[in-house]
Amino acid sequence: MLSANELVKAKKAIERLYDRECTIYENRPYQKPNGMTGGRWEAAAEDIPCRISFSGPTPAEKTDTVARIRQEIKLLTNPEVEIKAGSRILVKKDSWQDYFVAAGIAAHYDTHQEVPLLAETRWA
């Protein structure tokens, strides 16, 4: 087990690798003007330093209709940031940006968390 000082050093070393920023969106309930309730996407956290890890792609799977390519994508960020499964995430770096969905529960470590992502082309 790491001492508190070693843990701080390890966490800072990982944070130096963060080369992007993300905004986390959650679907939150609200009351419509007609009195009904609905859900809308609202920013839960903004400008969070992060890194994207891409692994793969693996060789294409052949099926009767299409060839499928699999790629694993993970968001690495500070473990104190709460990212719920199903949250939408906008990741930015310079002029590049892309949209993702948190595809599951984050793996939490003392120094960082890893959130599995699915690519999302766009949402309304």
pLDDT digits (tens, 9 = 90+) for 6-16: 999 999 999 99
Rounded to an integer, what distance in angstroms lies between the CA atom of residue 109 and that of residue 107?
7
Q: What are phi and psi of 19, to 5 degrees?
A: -125, 10
Average pLDDT rounded to a whole number, residues 87-116: 94
Residues of the chain by 3-state class (helix, strand, coil), percent to 5: 10, 50, 40
Residues in the chain: 124
Each residue's pLDDT tens digit, 20-72: 999 999 999 999 889 899 999 999 999 999 999 988 766 656 666 666 667 78
pLDDT > 90? residue 93:
yes
Show the tokens assigned to 30: 């609200």
Say whether pLDDT at 123 is over 60: no
pTM score, two decimals?
A: 0.80
